[in-house]
Amino acid sequence: MRIDAIELHRVGMPLVRPFETSFGVQTAREVLLIRVRTDAGDGWGECVAGTEPFYSSEYVDGAAHVIEHYLAPTLLRAPDVTAASVARQLGYVAGHRMAKAALEAAVLDAELRAVGRSFGEYFGATAEWVDCGVSVGIAPSIDELLAEVAGYVAEGYKRIKLKVKPGWDLEPVARVRELLGPDGLLQVDANTAYTLADAEHLKRLDPFDLLLIEQPFDEEDIASHAALAQVIETPVCLDESILSAAIAVDAIERGATSIVNIKAGRVGGYLEALRVHDICRELSVPVWCGGMLETGIGRAANVALAALPGFTLPGDTSASGRYFADDLAEPFVLGSGEHAGQLRVPTGPGTGVEVDEAFVAARALSPHRTLR
Ligand SMILES: CSCC[C@@H](NC(=O)CCC(=O)O)C(=O)O
Ligand SMILES: [Mg+2]
């Protein structure tokens, strides 16, 4: 395909409730959306970088800048662009995986819409519905945490994930385990808030039968995660550390992770996410789909990804209403009956969602940029 224009849209979307992690509190999502205009039609992609460079070194202003000054000009100059060629064409720019992923996803959306194929079909999805977990932020009090968790359980979520940090870990976990009962699926995510010196403390989580402890240590400290895995029973799962399929293999072989959280934006795009899935499957390592508070664009793509056979654990792809009162596309709503706690995999062309352009314009934080 030839790309005739690339649009950058900055959209502000308030969260239905504050979302607190070990690195801060979020009350709104400032989303960078990409629309590519090609000779085969349009496609939308979503950049998962946060407003601040706290989850990773990427942040929305930086992503917009690197797209405007490096990545978009490269694709606009190229005589032919396909989703399969984007990573190679942009490879001369170091890092900026979330920015690159947004462009690749927009190109893939345009490419697949042009031939009437869905993301799910293209990825090789084997499920029509996916099990959904939910990520629960650090709460002002234990009672407020329990009320929020009880609400999600009532909605049918298959798994609860609690954000933890030093000073907010053992008691919240104990009380939520009590609320869920012994069979409820429960895991925690530290977002790098601990160090290996906390190993004995983290071992005190073992009696609560957690599915996993996610990214307890610094994203570059593979060795400490391997050391922790020798000390605790709870399986260690990496998120921030896993930037590519190669790093996933290295972390697995070094014993640093026995379960992998896959996020397409973090690894540079859905095509690399497929490679992470495939190699983890070969190594018999379970994977699940992580979340970055996506709008309907990224949420649709994540549901399609989560429908692959290696995604054997409920992911963080929740209903749109978990974060947003209104979304830029038809909201994702949990199923009922036999599909309670599940989301249906979109079957329409591309991501399968239609972006409400009036919504995007009404919530624009600045005039959109059109690059040619
Ligand atoms: C702003 S926190 C984003 C990263 C975080 N994401 C979640 O907790 C899930 C968010 C979601 O449900 O989309 C993680 O470290 O896994
Ligand atoms: Mg995480």
pLDDT at res. 52: 97
Element (H, E) at 30: strand 24-38
Percent of the chain with pLDDT over 70: 100
Average pLDDT over the chain reads 98
Q: Does ligand 1 lie within 6 Å of residue 22's CB atom?
A: no
Q: How far apart are the CA of 366 and the centre of ligand 1, in A?
A: 25
Element (H, E) at 13: strand 3-21
Residues β-bridged to residue 24: 21
pLDDT in tens, 78-100: 999 999 999 999 999 999 999 99
pLDDT in tens, 273-331: 999 999 999 999 999 999 999 999 999 999 999 999 999 999 999 999 999 999 999 99
Nearest to 1 by CA among 111, 102, 89: 111
Mean pLDDT within 229-256: 98
pLDDT at res. 96: 98
Cα separation, 221 vs 177, whole angstroms: 29
Closest ligand by atom to 21 CA:
1
Under the banding of pLDDT at 50, 70 and 90, the label for residue 333 is: very high
Cα separation, 128 vs 338, whole angstroms: 13
Q: Please give the positions annotated as active site.
A: 163, 263
Q: How far apart are the CA of 290 and the centre of ligand 2, in A?
A: 7
Task: Confirm if 364 and 11 have CB atoms less than 8 A apart.
Answer: yes
pLDDT in tens, 116-175: 999 999 999 999 999 999 999 999 999 999 999 999 999 999 999 999 999 999 999 999
Q: Does ligand 1 lie within 6 Å of residue 131's CB atom?
A: no
Nearby residues for ligand 2 (ion, Cβ within 5 Å): 189, 214, 239
Q: Does ligand 1 lie within 6 Å of residue 191's CB atom?
A: yes
pTM higher than the cut 0.90: yes
Q: Does ligand 1 lie within 6 Å of residue 190's CB atom?
A: no
Q: How far apart are the CA of 240 and the centre of ligand 2, in A?
A: 7
pLDDT at res. 154: 98
Cα separation, 308 vs 123, whole angstroms: 7
Cα separation, 4 vs 43, whole angstroms: 12
pLDDT at res. 9: 98
Cα separation, 28 vs 18, whole angstroms: 8
